[in-house]
Amino acid sequence: MLVNTLYFAKLLNNQVTILSKLCSDFGIEHAVICPGSRSAPLVFAFNRNKNIKTYAIVDERSAGYIALGMVQQLQKPVALICTSGTAALNFFPAIAEAFYQKIPLVVLTADRPAELLNQQDGQMINQVNVFGSHVRGILQFEVRSSEFEVQSLLNKSMFPVKGPVHINVPLVEPLYEDLAISNELPMHREVIGNNEIKNNDFDATQLINALQKCDSNKPKVILVGQGFPNQELAAVLKSLEQKGFVILADVVSNQHESTSISHCDLIIAQATSEILKTLEPDLIISLGGPVLSKALKLWLKKQKPLFHFRIQQDDVLVNTYDNVTDYLITDNITPLKFITEHFIPKNLFLNNWQEINAKAKKLVTDFTQNNQTVFNELVAVNTVLEQLPNQSQLQIANSTAIRYVSYLGLPNKNLTVFCNRGTSGIDGCTSTALGAALVNNKITTLITGDLAFFYDRNAFWNNYIPNNLRVILLNNHGGGIFNLIDGPSSAPELDKFFLTKHTLKAKNLAADFGLIYENCTSQNELNQALNSFFEPSETAKILELSFDMNKSAEVYKAFRKMKIDHS
Read off the pLDDT of residues 36-63 as tens digits, 9 standing for 90 and up.
Answer: 888 888 999 999 999 999 999 999 999 9
The yes-or-no verdict on residue 119 having pLDDT over 90 is: no
Task: Give the model confidence (pLDDT) of 470-487 as tens digits.
Answer: 999 999 987 655 455 565
Give the residue-averaged pLDDT of 67-89. Answer: 95
The yes-or-no verdict on residue 179 having pLDDT over 90 is: no
Residue 52 near residue 23, CB atoms below 8 Å: yes
Give the residue-averaged pLDDT of 317-325. Answer: 94
Give the residue-averaged pLDDT of 424-447. Answer: 96
Of these ranges, 217-221, 340-344, 394-398, the one predicted with the greatest mean pLDDT is: 394-398
The pLDDT mean for the chain works out to 88
pLDDT band at 1 (very low <50, low <70, confident <90, very high): very low
Give the residue-averaged pLDDT of 387-392. Answer: 98
The yes-or-no verdict on residue 337 having pLDDT over 60 is: yes
Rounded alpha-carbon distances, angstroms, from residue 14 to 25, 26, 78, 298: 17, 19, 22, 56
Residue 364 near residue 382, CB atoms below 8 Å: yes
Task: Give the model confidence (pLDDT) of 23-36 as tens digits.
Answer: 999 999 999 999 88
The secondary structure of residue 493, as a DSSP letter, is T
Give span(s): CATH 3.40.50.1220, the chain. Answer: 204-355
pLDDT band at 189 (very low <50, low <70, confident <90, very high): very low
**Per-residue pLDDT at 213:** 86
Q: What order of strands is seen across the sheet that includes strand 165-170?
A: 53-56, 30-33, 78-82, 105-111, 165-170, 138-140
**Per-residue pLDDT at 440:** 96
Question: Does domain 204-355 bear CATH number 3.40.50.11540?
Answer: no
pLDDT band at 436 (very low <50, low <70, confident <90, very high): very high
371-561 has which CATH code?
3.40.50.970
Give span(s): CATH 3.40.50.970, the chain. Answer: 2-170, 371-561
Q: Are strands 307-312 and 283-287 parallel, antiparallel or unpaired?
A: parallel
**Per-residue pLDDT at 196:** 42
Report d(CA 548, CA 348) in Å as an integer. Answer: 46
pLDDT band at 191 (very low <50, low <70, confident <90, very high): very low
**Per-residue pLDDT at 163:** 97
**Per-residue pLDDT at 107:** 98
pLDDT band at 193 (very low <50, low <70, confident <90, very high): very low
Report d(CA 484, CA 495) in Å as an integer. Answer: 13
Assign domain 2-170 to a CATH class: alpha beta
The yes-or-no verdict on residue 19 having pLDDT over 50 is: yes
DSSP per-residue codes, 340-400: HHH----THHHHHHHHHHHHHHHHHHHHHHH--SS--HHHHHHHHHHHSPTT-EEEE-TTH
**Per-residue pLDDT at 117:** 58
Give the residue-averaged pLDDT of 178-192. Answer: 43
Rounded alpha-carbon distances, angstroms, from residue 159 to 76, 334, 539: 12, 18, 38
pLDDT band at 186 (very low <50, low <70, confident <90, very high): very low
**Per-residue pLDDT at 66:** 98
pLDDT band at 185 (very low <50, low <70, confident <90, very high): very low
Report d(CA 267, CA 565) in Å as an integer. Answer: 10
* Short-list 306, 356, 377, CA closest to 552: 377
The yes-or-no verdict on residue 363 having pLDDT over 80 is: yes
**Per-residue pLDDT at 43:** 92
**Per-residue pLDDT at 198:** 42
